[in-house]
Structure formats: C-alpha cells, structure tokens
Amino acid sequence: MASTTDTAPPGAATPGTGPEAPPAAGDPASLKVVPTRHYARWAAGAAVVVLIAQFVHGLATNPVWEWQVFRDYVFSETIVQAVWVTLQLTAYATVLGFLLGTVLAFLRLSRSPVLSTVAWTYIWIFRSIPMIVQLVFWFNLSALYKELGFGIPFGPVFWSVDSNSIIGTMGAAVIGLTLHQAAYAAEIVRGGVIAVEHGQLEAAAALGIPRLRQIRRIVLPQAMRAILPTAGNEIIGLLKGTSVVYVMSIGELFYQVQVIYGRNGRVIPLLLVATAWYVVLTSLLSVAQYYVERRYARGADRTPPPTPLQRARRFIRTLRAAAAQRNQPVIPLKPLGDSR
C-alpha cells in the first residue's frame, strides 16, 4: 500500500462522477459502507407489533376484564393474607426440600450400596407420585396412622401423639411439598456435585481437609454454579405449584381467589389478581436468582460483568458527561444565592 496517500487513492473515482464510475481500486477505508437491508425482518417485526398492540388495546377496552374489580381486590386484606400463605409454603418447601434433597444427593453418591439404593428408591417413588395425589395422602394421614410416637423399632413405644394434633393442614401441605421437592432437589444437587472437577476433590483430599469441610467449603460452592439455574426453575415452579394445595382448603392465593369468585362470580378479574401476584413474585425470585448466581460466579471470570444496576449507572454517567461537554462553554459558574 505504499502508493496510497491520504488524498484520493490513485485510480479511485473522484467524487461526483456518478453511479457508473468503476469500483475504487484504492483504500477501501475511504469508501462509503451500505448496510444490508433486512426487509423481511422489518415486515415480521411490524406484524408482531401490530398484534401486540391489538392485545393491549383489548386489555384496556374489553369490559370483561373488569379492571375496577381487579383494583378492588388486588391489595385487599384477604388476598394479601393469601399471598403471605403462598410465600410461607414456598419458603418452607424450598428450604426443607433442598436440605433433604442435598442429604439424599450425597446418600446417592455414597459408596454404601444400602444408602445409595435407599436414596434412589426415594427419588423413584416421589417422582412417580403426582404432587396432588401425595398431598391428599398426607391430608388423610390420620386415617393411615392414628398416632405417631417414638420407641424401639418393632418394640414398645414410649411417647406418642395423635397425628392430627401434631400435623395440621398446613403441616401436611408443607410435608407434601417438601417430600416432593426433595426428590427433584436431590437430582439437581447431585448433578451439580458431579459437575465439580474431580481434581478439586483430590486437591482437598491431598491437603488433608476434613471430609465434611471438603463438601461444604470446596464441593458445594462450586456445585452451586451448576445447581442454581435449575434450582431457580424449581423454586419458581414450586411457587406456582403451591396453588395445588387448594385441594386441602388452605387459604393460599389460588384458593382464596376461587372462594371470592365463587361468591361474586367475577371470575376473570380475580384470576387476573392471582396472575398479577404470581408474576410479581416470580419476577422478584428471578432478580434474586440473578444476584445469587453472580455471587457464586466469583472467581469464575477474570472480570465479572457489571450488574444491570451498574450498567444503568454507567449509562447515566456517560449521558451526564456528554451533556456536560456540550454545555461547558454555555454554563458559567453561578455564585450561590444568585438563583433566588
């Protein structure tokens, strides 16, 4: 490229010679770039926008949605109370389910054939029973076992209570959800654990780190990277899955909504109330998941990507800087008090 200069390259068409001018033979950097036109893509985009606009218009104008009823109920005491019950069920089943699931995962990975078979059988059974069937079973536990007690296996019982008094409806629901969740959680945790590179365990063993500490400090934090995306799915699924405990007449969100529309017949707006709450709660969980995942990604990337919040702040800062630059000569420093 020794012959090219900063001015028009030799042999290049001089500006204004018209479209018939032969293609420039010189430095391509001096030529105008014409981006590809995606006509089909634009048409498809426009069609989708029209469809969405129609739907939103319908939401706003179709009287069947009854937005007034929605407004009346969405923050009503009954509904807020019901949301609280839904949250409690989700929280208990998540925490207990994943605790039990983690234990089951390590039992399945255990070298003892008895323990690993027991864990496998548990997972097999509880994944086989539909949650709703299992819940009704627990609801009817007292028909199966009238009393629960402690004693010598197959021997005398020292202490016992009536099953119904110790396990209320809510207890039965939590147990049902937990046992169901644990089966899935076990497989998720096991997947995370076997995804941890074998060398990590070897290094921990070679350093003489105690076994439980190896699991808690070396294996699980790394397994979390693989566990969290699926676990997020599970917890969100569980949040919505709590709606099936309506069969046990527990006052969670979906049950209360049904009770209300059973009374007043406003089915659509009340289903909207439930929908809105489920969407809000799921969104909050998704945000939480993002930050938890980020925490466990420490050390995984050389430079962690900025959070949306950091990105927004950075964007505002650039805007401000740009604005300041544009306004610099115009804004002289005003002495304080001048503005009055």
Partner 1 sequence: MSDVTVAVKDAKPTADGVMVDVHGVHKNFGPLQVLRGVDLTVRAGEVTVVLGPSGSGKSTLLRTINHLEKVDRGWISIDGELIGYRRSGSKLHELKEKDVLRQRTHIGFVFQNFNLFPHLTVLDNLIEAPVSALRRPRKEAEETARRLLERVGLADKTNAYPRQLSGGQQQRVAIARALALEPKVLLFDEPTSALDPELVGEVLDVIKDLARTGTTMIVVTHEIGFAREVADTVVFMDDGVVVEQGPPSAVLDSPQHERTRAFLSKVL
- 111 forms part of the interface with partner 1 (CB under 8 A): no
Check if the beta carbon of residue 108 is closer than 8 Å to that of residue 89: no
Check if the beta carbon of residue 205 is closer than 8 Å to that of residue 214: yes
- 72 or 202: CB nearest partner 1: 202
Q: What is the DSSP code string of 285-339?
A: HHHHHHHHHHHHTTTTSSSPPPPHHHHHHHHHHHHHHHHHHHHTTT-PPPPTTTT
Interacting positions 219-238 with partner 1 (CB under 8 A): 221-222
Closest distance of CB 322 from partner 1, Å: 33
Closest distance of CB 207 from partner 1, Å: 4
Q: What is the DSSP code string of 115-139?
A: HHHHHHHHHHHHHHS-HHHHHHHHH
Interacting positions 301-330 with partner 1 (CB under 8 A): 301-302
Closest distance of CB 296 from partner 1, Å: 7
- 331 forms part of the interface with partner 1 (CB under 8 A): no
- 294 forms part of the interface with partner 1 (CB under 8 A): no
Which residue in 184, 197, 192, 194 sits closest to 227, CA to CA? 192
> Rounded CA gap, 55 and 59, in Å?
6
Closest distance of CB 225 from partner 1, Å: 8
Interacting positions 159-218 with partner 1 (CB under 8 A): 197, 199-200, 202-211, 213, 217-218
* Residues in contact with 140: Cβ distance below 8 Å, sequence separation at least 6, in sequence order: none
Interacting positions 48-107 with partner 1 (CB under 8 A): none
Q: What is the pairing mode between strands 147-151 and 157-162?
A: antiparallel
Closest distance of CB 218 from partner 1, Å: 6
Note the residues at the interface with partner 1 (CB under 8 A).
197, 199-200, 202-211, 213, 217-218, 221-222, 296, 298-302
